[in-house]
Structure 1
């Protein structure tokens, strides 16, 4: 799988790393809620409140590839935000969020915001906003604010597209992705290797125990320029160092 990067986004938020994670099972031990909580924790810690990087996850079965990482003026980006039913322009979405933030400040008489509102300053004075667009022209991600409800993950998701973007460095993207994949492995949401009998992805499992071992299967994603020259591939053969993270490389397909 490849993601095309346009010249427009290089001056806005130039760094992106993606991969596919397959054969997942969120139907055990409250795993789905724990995974969502993990993303929130990462945004506040290793991602430095999304100032260093932003994570977006998509149900790969709902993604229509190939994908393009682009930047557009806010009025030209249309997205159905997470948990919303109506499509909005990025301009309208940000304006609505700013109004909500002002109301929260007045109501609670404090400047500190929570949730999505605390990330609005990351877009201050940006002439264009970054976005990840599918083959039909639909925006599935608007970092660092939200991704689309159309590709939203659920506890029934078995295959993830994970996207990490940054305005700072490629190294940060890789570091965040490495750490996230390791934590997913530790959560035991991949394929069971030992302990009780193997599970079918998406099925209701037996209760796990501390002796169970799991693996996760990661498929490589190439990020390329419009002339097909390679920008970055993740994971490369030098990324990740766990025997329990099985990588499918592009040449293996």
Structure 2
């Protein structure tokens, strides 16, 4: 099971977008209608989980738009017009497609920028598969001289000033000297020439899909925004731009979106955003049988309007409807039936279904399982592969491999030499996976979430069970900085503040190992494996490992 993305919004910002005050009770009910789950409310900040198939709800703008009908408020219309701006793509091998759009007359404050950046990151990590499939960018159009070009350039000679940096860097330096470069650089580092967006004067807008330029970033003074998406599939980049454009348009005074045409090699033209949503034929008799409640045509039209469907034709009990252009999830009549059921009310459906048993208890996910799922989702989004080792292992693996002498629990009468002990840390098992896969990939990035048993005389059983996350990164130029970047990103997504300090861990370089501290408590480590151990194991590339106690993170997340 994949966790749903957690979205963080300001309630006062939602109210400003709605143009109306809203109580927490109404907000909760509205979120339920949108299949969202409230995670936390603290002061003005609301955190909720949105389904992966509803990326339009990944920011305050999309949430406010979706809530309007359920709060009895009129929807706001946006206008898509042809743009005079043109785009040209060289069809870069390995990442050939680009889509562009423009949103005019925006009014932004600091919270608006936070929401735009959140939407950008959530889209790229989920729908864009951690930027591998597609990425998304936004720019201050008034600082750019169109037309826009998407081309491949020499990474050693081409320079620009990356976002939030105070100096120019070559594209190769961006990959090795910036946090985003270290996280996502593997996507393009094997390319002979790197993909960039630039304007007619040769000013670089971004190194795709790594990092935008600081010179044309969106600020509170921005009034017109250029949006881009680059990726592997033409439909995906158009989807990304469409969602970003319609959400940003919620902050536009004129609500004008300009569709930009981008010419690709071979005569291919990609225009974004979409002008038409999916057309779906819906037989209400099928819907009634599916949800167990008879739905009339009049009720269906009313329920569908709450989800911004447009009814294009009615033939008896068969409706042809058009979904909104940003509803990527609405593809079949079953999807439409689900929205009808949501609007009707699952509670009302339940009252009419006599065969359903009464609930006798309230189910709730255990906090440890919840945080494990959150961490899994984040690391998969960062391009990591999950592995699973046995909890039973060998004494040699737990102790000799890394020079660990903290003690492990051993099996009294083992039936196999491979399973003579219970693991007390994850790192040795993860390194064994690195050994098994050496030479298969230039870059290995893996993680494991699992339990360990640690000797503890303060416990009645002399043992303590901990849930941990183990992480490893290995490639030709891997350093401690790679590990620090991953850990920082993980904790940022969890909303947990951390600090690092020098420490020592068996098998790791003392001068390149850091303790991970939260609120003054050490909860893990990150560091480089000693070269002599790598040599003994036959590993040519550096290996960076991290291990974190998830039981302790629960107290702070």
TM-score normalised by the chain length of structure 1: 0.70
Provide the residue aligned with 1:71 in structure 2: 152
In structure 2, distance between residues paired with 1:226 and 1:220: 20
Instruction: Choose the corresponding residue for 1:13, options 65, 78, 95.
Output: 95
Q: CA RMSD in A?
A: 2.4
Provide the residue aligned with 2:176 in structure 1: 95
In structure 1, distance between residues paired with 2:224 and 2:234: 24
Provide the residue aligned with 1:149 in structure 2: 214
Contact 2:108 2:221 in 1 (8 A): yes
> SS where residue 69 of structure 1 aligns?
strand
- Cα displacement string for residues 165-197 of structure 1 (whole angstroms, at most 9, x for unaligned residues): 00x200111121222234335xx4122xxxxxx
Contact 1:12 1:71 in 2 (8 A): no
Provide the residue aligned with 2:195 in structure 1: 130
- C-alpha deviation, 1:235, in angstroms: 3.2
Corresponding position: 1:223 with 2:262: yes
- Cα displacement string for residues 51-74 of structure 1 (whole angstroms, at most 9, x for unaligned residues): 111111100010111221100221
Contact 2:238 2:274 in 1 (8 A): no
Provide the residue aligned with 2:251 in structure 1: 189
In structure 2, distance between residues paired with 1:155 and 1:116: 26
> SS where residue 251 of structure 2 aligns?
coil
Corresponding position: 1:39 with 2:120: yes
Provide the residue aligned with 2:104 in structure 1: 22
Structure 1 alignment gaps of length 5 or more: 102-114, 192-214, 244-253
Provide the residue aligned with 1:162 in structure 2: 227
Corresponding position: 1:86 with 2:167: yes
Change (3 A) 1:85 1:145: same
- C-alpha deviation, 1:3, in angstroms: 1.1
Q: How many residues align?
A: 197
- C-alpha deviation, 1:93, in angstroms: 2.0
- C-alpha deviation, 1:80, in angstroms: 0.8
In structure 1, distance between residues paired with 2:245 and 2:177: 34
Change (3 A) 1:239 1:66: farther
Corresponding position: 1:140 with 2:222: no
Larger Cα-atom Rg:
2
Change (3 A) 1:124 1:174: same
In structure 2, distance between residues paired with 1:160 and 1:95: 29
Change (3 A) 1:171 1:88: same
In structure 2, distance between residues paired with 1:66 and 1:182: 22
> SS where residue 64 of structure 1 aligns?
coil
In structure 2, distance between residues paired with 1:182 and 1:119: 27
In structure 1, distance between residues paired with 2:125 and 2:90: 29
- C-alpha deviation, 1:149, in angstroms: 0.9
- C-alpha deviation, 1:161, in angstroms: 0.2
Contact 1:12 1:128 in 2 (8 A): no
> SS where residue 180 of structure 1 aligns?
helix
> SS where residue 247 of structure 2 aligns?
helix
Change (3 A) 1:162 1:140: same
In structure 2, distance between residues paired with 1:153 and 1:171: 26
In structure 1, distance between residues paired with 2:147 and 2:192: 26
In structure 2, distance between residues paired with 1:181 and 1:235: 7
Provide the residue aligned with 1:234 in structure 2: 272
Corresponding position: 1:177 with 2:220: no
Change (3 A) 1:157 1:242: farther
TM-score normalised by the chain length of structure 2: 0.33
The answer to which structure, 1 or 2, has the higher relative contact order (CA under 8 A, 6+ apart) is 1
